[in-house]
Each structure stands twice: as C-alpha cells, then as structure tokens.
Amino acid sequence: MESFSAEDLSTIGGIATVSLLHSFIPTHWLPFSIVGRAQKWRRNSA
C-alpha cells in the first residue's frame, strides 16, 4: 500500500478545513433550528 504524498495530505487538509468552515454557514443549520424551535422539539430529539 502506498503512502500519501505531501501534496495529497495538503489537499485532504484543505478539503477538511473548507468543509468544516462551510458547515458553520447559517443557511445550513438556521432553517432546521427555526423549525425545531417552532415545533418545540427537545434538543435530544432533533
């Protein structure tokens, strides 16, 4: 099995970083949060 090159690791790290930052954008979690609040969902059931 071949190991990852420095370029591969850099690409994987960049993708992981962008994915993490992208998940903080409110358009991903805000609608779900608003619906949950309107439906009076408990935190552990959402």
Each residue of 21-42: pLDDT tens digit?
Answer: 998 898 888 998 899 999 999 8
Q: What number is the average pLDDT over the span 1-13?
A: 92
Report the alpha-carbon distance of residue 24 to residue 40 in Å, rounded: 23
Percent share of the chain, pLDDT over 70: 93
Q: What is the pTM of this model?
A: 0.55
Burial class (CB in 10 A: 0-12, 13-18, 19+), 1: exposed
pLDDT band with cut points at 50, 70 and 90 for residue 15: very high
Helices (H), the chain: 6-23, 26-38
| CA torsion angle 3 20 18 12 (round to 10) | 0
- Where are the domains positioned within the chain? 6-38
Q: What number is the average pLDDT over the span 5-14?
A: 97
